[in-house]
A and B are shown apart, each in its own frame.
Chain A
Amino acid sequence: MNAPLSFNERRSLAPMRERLVVIGNGMAGCRAVEEILARDPARYAITIFGAEPRVNYNRIMLSPVLAGEKAFDDIVINGEDWYANNAITLIAGDPVAAIDRASQSVIARSGRIEPYDRLLIATGSDPFIIPVPGAELAGVVTFRDLDDVEKMLKAAEGGGHAVVIGGGLLGLEAAHGLSLRGMAVTVIHLMPTLMERQLDEAAGWLLKSELEARGQTILTGADTAEIVGDAGHVCGVRLKDGREIAADIVVMAVGIRPATALARGAGLQVERGILVDDHMVTSDPAIMAVGECVQHRGACYGLVAPLWEMCRALADAATGEPSGYEGSVTSTKLKVSGIDLFSAGDFSGGEGAEDIVLRDAARGVYKRVIVRDDRLVGAVLYGDTGDGAWYFDLLKKGEDIAPIREALIFGQAFASGGAQLDPSAAVAALSDDAEICGCNGVSKGKVIACIAGGAHSLDAVRGGCKASASCGSCTGLVETLLQLTLGEEVQSGPKSLCKCTSFTHADVRRLIVEKGLKVIPQVMQALGWSTPDGCASCRPALNYYLLCAWPGDYVDDQQSRFVNERLHANIQKDGTYSVVPRMWGGLTTPDELRAIADAADKYGARTVKVTGGQRIDLFGIHKEDLPAIWADLNAAGMVSGHAYGKALRTVKTCVGSEWCRFGTQDSTGLGVRIERMTWGSWMPHKFKIAVSGCPRNCAEATIKDFGVVCVDSGYELHVGGNGGIKVRVTDLLCKVATEEEALDVCAAFIQLYREQAWYLERTAPWIERVGLDHVKSALFDDPDAIASLAARFRFSQGFMQDDPWAQRAAGADAELHQHLAEVRPFPTQAILEAAE
């Protein structure tokens, strides 16, 4: 572009020009120089210092180099001829050691001194090394420059295991490259969601599934404790939970920090980055800064697009026509071939923000746009990123999207289609043989015929022609067809699980099993949840449904538990907790009572009360003291009473034939056996049992979820009682002759309730909804039903009967009980003390 200058021209021009020294031969430094040259090629005599002994290359293309898709020569931006042609002196491999602002010169490591009139700092950023033991071992590399890539390529020659610490953009690109080079790759990510700064939980889960399908091991929520070495070279990574992963190379890709040491040393104003104004000038008017090392209006950037905008503003100012940089909105794409992922703007919701979510389970597509005040403020796209650029454009321009809001989520082709602004128009335009329901092969014509035949609700259509009766991803289409065909006459269907979905509890339970859905984000994706991570209604319900469907397999999601079930105690109105140890069948011993009394004293229980379920409740315990009081109670042989859970609460008994002159059977003994069998089981709602030794029914068995009334000839088993807001007396289920039969029917009934009731539905409303006949038929029609239901219950109990108090007393989830820290203010300062 610029005509080459001869040596003589350079000599003669040099003294007249201002001397511009650039620290940093990277993308920002060179781009700034290019921009200045494009405006005024004769203004400056330019010297560029580079720490790496090579010409300027495109750092963001290192990932394709690692993956073998590109060679170094392909990613060079400016070769040696560019420096020569523009009379730029390149000092590569001799980094600047200090800036002397008084004499306006920089001093290189070799001792070379270079005076400047204007100085440009473009030092970029440094990879952040997490301070764990072993971080200094050979074989631990970062992913920042070509040297790092070469180290990785060398390690990959021998195959073996690679561990990448950090599941962000850079880490995943490194993992992809190493995986393609034949290494077995494990990604360790501290957060539960990959790329959590760019992706929400739903998109993060899709990404994780895809990477796992490609053979990578992805460990989220994994905190590195130590990098393990052997003879000075890395050989593995140990996590805080004790797991160890073999590693021949460890790539540290947890993040970057602006490289500000030089600027700080020179006394420039530095916070997180070097502070610059809108013209990229630092606190010293002779010194400018640009790129990842700067902090502009409070923001630091680690992406390439803002850098180009900064360089334009810098060049305008440096050539006497200041324009100003106003900050950037950024977008992200993951450079992993075959994975389409796009993220831009703010997706954290917020005041007045509204989510529009579109999921297509069959194609693995998740699209979410965030709208505030009729403006697009964020977008997350997975699986179909074709409209990423369009959304980003709308976002940057802040265009009013009100006119296209309805169709926005369907993309540009649809939203810009003029006459088709109404999404129902597109459905109306479909031909009669267009397929609506892929699962059941139902065409639009068949759906319309079904509606015309009298199916006036979604449920009726599902029942009539099977459309949307399987995976449900075409529910929206069917609803639109109902609307188009019937207008106002559409009958609303049964109540959905919550506002996040149009599926009912029954649908969700059935589909979890049918489709083998194993974790919450998977359910939300497959069933087209309309919110990114659910709400306080659906999360606990899904957690329970998954726990019930996949015993031993599903990992309980603490984030989906109400506080009582998370802290294994009952929260009270003042924020303290009450603690109820289990008393099997209402029996206790002097030793247990002494331990309870001691615990009440030691932990300051302000109230001690005998409960309706025949045990003792200690009130006023602080959450920090819970593990300690549990340890004390455990030591006396007691376990959690689950008085706080949607779970088996207590088995109330009377004394029975052992003492009572009316007793017909050993009701206390049977109560203890039943409680030993059922404790610890999670249920749709709380579950109470009682055993009375005779029809006088002192244990009030006929208002319990499951009640046993002993008679001379055996045991009457009652179900569906409730002593709550609406008192309901039990229905007699059956009569059995032996304790063993009573235990089997109890286990089978509980399992039927666990598998069929809706979350937060007690047995009483459940039986009223489905009818006692349904329950009897499910238990007794098939002679094997009792045995198989009871077997499923006992299998599940094998995983449930693990005292949660003992786990916490042993230190599990300690952070749930401890304060983060404590603040103790003094007159002039605040002192912060760590909790531990």
Chain B
Amino acid sequence: MIREPVTGAWLDIGPVGQISPGHARTLPVAGGPDESREIAVFHTLEGRFYALVNTCPHKAGPLSQGLVHGHVVTCPLHNWNISLKTGEAQGEDRGCVPVIPLKVDAGRIYLLRAAVLGENRRAA
């Protein structure tokens, strides 16, 4: 969960129109600290955008392929509900996936570069 003000360089990943509401799309990150790291960028039915590492804390299911409702995505593999705001599993399930700070400006989506590259953990 983001508690501190977010600063640093932002990556422009393109216009908001690329993701229909209720859907998510993916952003593979090559050569980072994790092999095959992927970011999922979500657009909720209420028009909000969020980004998470695309890996369910349960069995690593691709959250980008889940059903989005409210500010929650339901993992396609075993129906865990993950909060798009905090990355935390909802209800009885326990687990958390990193949130990638995201902002929308003038119709474009920006992700915090350090978080995309997985550098935030090293810095912390």
* Inter-chain contacts of A493 with B (CB < 8 A): none
Interface size class of chain B, counting residues whose CB lies under 8 Å from the partner chain:
35 or more
Residue A531 interfacial (CB < 8 Å):
yes
Given contacts A571-B76, A823-B27, A825-B31, contact A815 B18 (CB under 8 A): yes
The reply to whether B32 and A825 form a contact with Cβ atoms under 8 Å apart is: yes
Complex CA distance for A573 and B77, rounded to whole angstroms: 7
Q: Which of B19, B46, B74, B116 contacts A200 (CB 8 A)?
A: B46
Given contacts A190-B17, A575-B61, contact A823 B46 (CB under 8 A): no
Which residues of chain A from 275 to 307 have a CB within 8 Å of any chain B CB? Answer: 298
The reply to whether B14 and A558 form a contact with Cβ atoms under 8 Å apart is: no
Q: Which of B25, B48, B85, B105 contacts A820 (CB 8 A)?
A: B25
Complex CA distance for A818 and B105, rounded to whole angstroms: 23
Complex CA distance for A657 and B97, rounded to whole angstroms: 58
Complex CA distance for A594 and B62, rounded to whole angstroms: 32
Complex CA distance for A223 and B18, rounded to whole angstroms: 11
* Inter-chain contacts of B116 with A (CB < 8 A): 823, 830
Task: Encode A506-531 as 1/0 by CB contact (under 8 A) with B.
Answer: 00000000000000000000000001
Residue A128 interfacial (CB < 8 Å):
yes
Which residues of chain A from 559 to 584 have a CB within 8 Å of any chain B CB? Answer: 559-564, 566-567, 571, 573-575
The reply to whether A558 and B27 form a contact with Cβ atoms under 8 Å apart is: no
* Inter-chain contacts of B16 with A (CB < 8 A): 190
The reply to whether A821 and B45 form a contact with Cβ atoms under 8 Å apart is: no
* Inter-chain contacts of B44 with A (CB < 8 A): 348
Residue A635 interfacial (CB < 8 Å):
no
The reply to whether A824 and B30 form a contact with Cβ atoms under 8 Å apart is: yes
* Inter-chain contacts of B13 with A (CB < 8 A): 820-821, 832
Complex CA distance for A821 and B51, rounded to whole angstroms: 14
Task: Encode B89-118 as 1/0 by CB contact (under 8 A) with A.
Answer: 000000000000000011100000100110
Residue of A201, A298, A823 with most chain B CB atoms under a 10 A cut-off: A823
* Distance between B113 CB and nearest chain A CB, rounded to angstroms: 6
Residue A59 interfacial (CB < 8 Å):
no
* Inter-chain contacts of B20 with A (CB < 8 A): 192, 221, 558-559, 815
Given contacts A350-B85, A351-B85, contact A534 B69 (CB under 8 A): yes
The reply to whether B11 and A349 form a contact with Cβ atoms under 8 Å apart is: no
Given contacts A196-B46, A348-B44, contact A823 B21 (CB under 8 A): no
The reply to whether B14 and A820 form a contact with Cβ atoms under 8 Å apart is: yes
Given contacts A825-B29, A830-B11, A830-B116, contact A349 B71 (CB under 8 A): yes
Residue B120 interfacial (CB < 8 Å):
no
Q: Which of A190, A535, A825 contacts B69 (CB 8 A)?
A: A535
* Distance between A427 CB and nearest chain B CB, rounded to angstroms: 30
* Inter-chain contacts of B62 with A (CB < 8 A): 571, 575
* Inter-chain contacts of B65 with A (CB < 8 A): 563, 566-567, 571, 575, 623
The reply to whether A820 and B41 form a contact with Cβ atoms under 8 Å apart is: yes
The reply to whether A563 and B76 form a contact with Cβ atoms under 8 Å apart is: yes
Question: Which single residue of chain A is at the shortest CB-CB distance from B105?
Answer: A272
Residue A197 interfacial (CB < 8 Å):
yes
The reply to whether B18 and A193 form a contact with Cβ atoms under 8 Å apart is: no
* Distance between A618 CB and nearest chain B CB, rounded to angstroms: 19
Task: Encode A817-835 as 1/0 by CB contact (under 8 A) with B.
Answer: 0111111110000101010
Residue of A201, A221, A816, A821 with most chain B CB atoms under a 10 A cut-off: A821
Question: Which single residue of chain A is at the shortest CB-CB distance from B36?
Answer: A575
Question: Which single residue of chain B is at the shortest CB-CB distance from A818?
Answer: B25
* Distance between B30 CB and nearest chain A CB, rounded to angstroms: 5
Complex CA distance for A753 and B97, rounded to whole angstroms: 41
The reply to whether B69 and A558 form a contact with Cβ atoms under 8 Å apart is: no
Given contacts A536-B69, A575-B61, A830-B116, contact A201 B27 (CB under 8 A): no
* Distance between A205 CB and nearest chain B CB, rounded to angstroms: 11
* Inter-chain contacts of B88 with A (CB < 8 A): 351
Residue A539 interfacial (CB < 8 Å):
yes
* Inter-chain contacts of A822 with B (CB < 8 A): 27-30
* Inter-chain contacts of A200 with B (CB < 8 A): 45-46
Q: Which of A532, A561, A575 contacts B46 (CB 8 A)?
A: A532
* Distance between A817 CB and nearest chain B CB, rounded to angstroms: 10
Q: Which of A201, A819, A832 contacts B12 (CB 8 A)?
A: A832
Interface residues in chain B, defined as those with a beta carbon under 8 Å from any beta carbon in chain A: 1, 5, 11-14, 16-23, 25-32, 39, 41, 44-48, 59-62, 65-71, 74, 76-77, 79, 81, 83, 85-86, 88, 105-107, 113, 116-117
A-B contact pairs, 15 of them (CB 8 A): A196-B21, A298-B5, A531-B69, A531-B70, A558-B23, A560-B22, A561-B67, A575-B65, A623-B65, A815-B18, A815-B19, A819-B27, A820-B26, A820-B41, A830-B117
Given contacts A559-B45, A573-B61, A822-B27, 12 further A-B contacts (CB under 8 A): A190-B17, A192-B45, A200-B46, A351-B86, A533-B46, A558-B20, A559-B20, A575-B62, A815-B23, A820-B26, A830-B116, A832-B11
